Chains A and B, each alone.
Chain A
Amino acid sequence: MSDTPRLRPLGQPKLVVVRTVENGGPTHVRLPGKPARTVEALRESWRIDDEWWRQPISREYHIVVLDDGRNLTLYHDLLDGTWYAQRG
């Protein structure tokens, strides 16, 4: 029986597979264990560059509307090229 308080992260990003157009905008998204969905609309995009002094973070965020009507927040990790879905 452990008495140490346990801390669990919230809003951790999930790795997703994304197909993009030439300018980098997402066109298709596949969430883990789900079929691929088409991106119907791109609602908003912004970029974060932070913490360059220790472990740099560079992300390009997109809020997209999928073809099933769902809103999804995605980001492209510009350092390693991977894509993630995240609750904002």
Chain B
Amino acid sequence: MGLGSGSAFLPASPRVSSGSRRALCLWLPTFELRLELVRSPALDSTSLALLSSGESTRRTIWQVSERAHEAGVRPGQLVSQAVSLCPSLTLLEPDPVHYDAAVESMLELLSEITPILEPAGRGRVFLGMDGLGRLFGSPERQAKKTLHSLFRIFPAPLVAATRAGFAPGKFGAWVAAASARSGEPVVVGDSDLARFLAGCPVSALPVDPLIVQRLERLGVQTLGELRRFPEPSLISQFGDEGRSALAWATGRRIDPVRPWHRPEPIRVSLDFPNPVGITETLHGALDRLIERALSRPTRRGRSVTGARMGAQLEGGGSWFVQTVLREPTAQRERIASPLRMKMAIAPPPKAVDTLIVEFTQFGAASAQTGLFDRRDESGRAAAGRELTRGEVPPSLRDAVKELKLRLGHSPLYRVVEVDPWSRIPERRHALLSFDP
């Protein structure tokens, strides 16, 4: 159970500059599978497994129910392996749109308790609880009140399966939630954090998994054992990650809950009169939908940095792929191309009833022209070749002319070799002003 990379890690300091220091982690293991059980309660008495989304051949198991687990079915197994272990296994296609809608309603509900919310995957969310003591009482009461509020949107079995951990920082709260029993929050105070963490396995550390493996091979099983090592030895073994590991293990590093901001997505959809399974038709529809989304007034003045393509499938279920664009853009082809590529890797498992396109992340409006002509994908490479031959592409020549008019000189340089084999590093290369 690692927090995974990408969490808001702060420098090793007991002081926290922003966000909420007191964190409550709500964790609902196998969230998606439990949502399926809520939707179809009759499945509760069967051995159930949720398929991973992906290519139609060699599908694997994503999540399994307790009954299926008892029969030997495990996440990551091939469907054929799982069925041979448990012939009565019921397999379900994932329905990501349904799961995301449940997450949305949960976040909306929790935002009534605290404005500082940070989701971490579908079944896990961190709540910033600083300053809520006067409103809700002790940390135990705050955690119980939060759990209780879930009854407004989820049925009792789902709320009962939710685990809650309250501690300083997200790491502590996550470890507390992971060790909590359903419906019984684990609360860790400031002074108890180090003692609480001492008994946790090193696999809880949000560091490179290879480091965790090496620690385990060295016989270091718990954070308490890790703390016995002096910091310099850990640094010499693992570099800066060693220092991080020690800071987490001792509770010196507190990662605050940071308010999560998600702009309102732009969503467009297209209903097909008949279900469509032909890729070319879907590609055509994707292009039309992107054009429609780009022309929305709410998009103007912003470029797109993240997009997602989804579908309601024939006979129920849903599918989606998403992409984060390398550069902000407002061009149809540059948004469509990565989505088409993702679709080729993980196509919709059934014919599509409704195709949906969502712009989920936005950047600043960009009217900046490139130094190289990028009308086609090879423009930059071609310009590079021209430059090597001593020719200057017209787009670059124009850009330099404009910059010279503004600044009085060309601010562009090219790297030239002066004495590339010199033993003195500063003699090898230099920057020569570029003024074609």
Contact = CB atoms under 8 A, between A and B. Distances in A.
Interface residues of B, number: 23
A2 B426 contact: no
A69 B238 CA distance: 9
A79 interface: no
Interface in A7-23: 7-13
A80 interface: no
Contact of B425 (A5, A6, A40, A86): A86
Interface in B383-432: 404, 408-409, 413, 415, 423-426, 428-432
A36 interface: no
A10 B430 contact: yes
Contact of A11 (B236, B243, B408, B425): B425
A78 interface: no
Contact of A50 (B239, B413, B424, B430): B424
B433 interface: yes
A48 interface: yes
A65 B235 CA distance: 10
Contact of B239 (A8, A9, A65, A86): A65
Contact of A9 (B404, B409, B426): B426
Contacts of B235: 40, 67, 69
Contacts of B435: 3, 5
A50 B241 CA distance: 40
Given A1-B404, A2-B409, A69-B239, A10 B424 contact: no
Interface in B330-360: none
Contact of B431 (A7, A67, A88): A7
B264 interface: no
B240 interface: yes
Given A1-B404, A7-B430, A10-B415, A48 B240 contact: no
B124 to A, nearest CB: 29
B232 interface: yes
Contacts of B428: 10-11
B433 A6 contact: yes
A8 B415 CA distance: 9
A55 B415 CA distance: 26
Interface in B4-30: none
A7 B432 contact: yes
A1 to B, nearest CB: 5
Contacts of B241: 69
Contacts of A68: 240, 243
A67 B243 contact: yes
Contacts of B423: 48, 50
B426 A8 contact: no
A54 interface: no
Interface of A: 1-3, 5-13, 40-41, 48, 50, 57, 65, 67-69, 86-88
Given A8-B413, A10-B429, A13-B426, 10 more contacts: A5-B435, A6-B409, A6-B433, A7-B433, A9-B426, A9-B430, A40-B235, A67-B232, A67-B235, A69-B240
6 contacts: A8-B413, A10-B426, A10-B429, A11-B425, A40-B232, A48-B423
Considering the complex of A and B, which 4 residue pairs feature the smallest CB-CB distances, nearest first? Answer: A69-B240, A6-B433, A8-B431, A69-B239
